[in-house]
Structure 1
Amino acid sequence: MPLHVSQAPAPALRSVLVALGSTAVREAHTPALRSVQGPMSPELPLPVHVLDVRDHAVPPAGTPRTRLVGWRFMIRGGEGPVAAADTRLTPDGWTFSHFFEGPYLASTERALRQAETMTTPFQPRLLSVPDLYMLTLWLHSDPEADPATGSPTPADLLVPLAPAPPGIAAHMPYRVADLLPVLNLRLAPPPLLESTA
């Protein structure tokens, strides 16, 4: 298998296990999670990074900056994933954030299956572009890298998850050098109109 899934920090995993055994499951806005009969387990931990392609500290041709904002676990119950659980880093360490379901759950599963068929080894991560309401599977080309650090490199691939913004094909692997200019263009401030008065 070419995907090298990283180990999440132990406190992040523990926080999800505690949440699965607590009232958080019954209080979650995730009908699928609440309807599971039997055991549930957190699997496929993915580091979640945020990308700001408008970072003015980085020249347009430079490497974009990312920052780790959490770890996402697929919650498996019965035959497949029924929800996801996010954790976040606080001053006291890793803590459970929330459960959720929705289109990104199936989309992430599909993108991971696609990536497993590739011949190049990758480290899977999630890369969020909040200003475009966009989430991608980030296939980092260094499978042994620290999953909490780094930025997209030219050898990395980005796979937009569905629903993707208009004009960007979901589930199509893009080279970083091909997708980042598109994102930069979409996030660029509109040009100022000159006054004709």
Structure 2
Amino acid sequence: MPLHVPPAPAPALRTVLTALGSPTAVREARTPSLRLAQGPVTPELPLPVHVLDRITPAGASATPPAAPPPPRPAGCRFLIRSGDRAVAAADTMLTPDGWAFSRFFEGPYVTATELALRQAETMQQPYQARLLSVPELYMLTLWLHGDCAADGATGHPAATDLLVPLAPAPPGIAAHRPYLVTELLPVLTHRVTPAPLLSSPA
């Protein structure tokens, strides 16, 4: 399989397994699909999560669009599988005291992540799977990194990496279409560039 998912940090996986084994944690998670799942549920596909906190507006920096600011590692997200599909996801985060469970959740991004991973498995070139969040645009992408041996918790998008926007994507950006970083970043930069102020009529 050309798609490579980095192994989960063992302490992060333990926090998710502990939460799944806690009736209180599952009940308070407000994820009906997880509570109603029949049979065992298992955490799979631990994806490193990175956050692009700031997109530089066009014209505000000499940094070329092909060199985005480095994203911030934010944790690890597991898909929670029941039977043949993912019914929820679990987020973990690295704290000063080590890995900690953050939350269970469900919704469109769970289904979209599973779909994007299946699509990526059909690609000819091998990639390492990560998630890249763009909070300024309320956007989440599957980040397909070209260096499969890299540490999944470090690094920045290379010009030849692919970003696959997950549904729901921002208006005008096609969900589940692979974009080169050099192709998508200028679009994102344009989205956060303030519109020029119209001058008052004389």
TM-score range, shorter chain: over 0.9
Q: 3-state SS of the aligned residue for 1:158?
A: strand
Tell me which amino acid in the other structure corresponds to 2:21.
G
Rounded Cα–Cα distance in structure 1 between residues aligned with 2:91 and 2:69: 24
Q: Aligned with 1:69: secondary structure?
A: strand
What residue is the counterpart of 1:46 in the other structure? 47
Which residue of structure 1 lines up, in the alignment, with residue 9 of structure 2?
Answer: 9
Which letter maps to 1:59? Answer: T
Distance 2:84 2:114 in 1: 13
- In structure 1, the partner of 2:25 is 24
1:168 match: 173
Q: Aligned partners of 1:21, 1:95: CA distance in 2, in Å?
A: 15
Normalising by structure 1, report the TM-score. Answer: 0.94
Alpha-carbon offset, residue 195 of structure 1: 5.3
Q: CA RMSD in A?
A: 1.6
So what's the TM-score if we normalise by structure 2? 0.92
On the 8 A contact 2:68/2:185 being kept in 1, the answer is no
Please identify runs of 4+ aligned residues in structure 1 that moved more than 6 A.
Answer: 55-58
Q: In the alignment, is residue 59 of structure 1 matched against residue 63 of structure 2? A: yes
| Count of matched residue pairs | 197
Deviation, 1:169, is 0.3
- Structure 1: give runs of 5+ residues left out of the alignment: none
**Hey, what's the Cα distance between the residues in 1 that align with 2:194 and 2:99?**
35
Deviations 1:104-146 (Å, cap 9, x if unpaired)? 1111011000000001000000000011110000000000111
Query: 1:53·1:65 contact (CA, 8 Å) conserved in 2?
Result: no
Identity of aligned residues (%): 69
2:128 counterpart of 1:123: yes
Q: Deviations over 1:135-194 (max 9, x none)?
A: 000000000111011111111000000000000000000011000000000012333444
In structure 1, which of residues 99, 109, 114 is the aligned counterpart of residue 114 of structure 2?
109
Distance 1:179 1:124 in 2: 18
Distance 1:35 1:111 in 2: 25
**Amino acid across the alignment from 1:42:** P
**Structure 2 unaligned blocks of 5 or more:** none
CA distance in 2, matches of 1:46, 1:57: 31
Shift of 1:57: 7.6
Partner of 1:153: 158
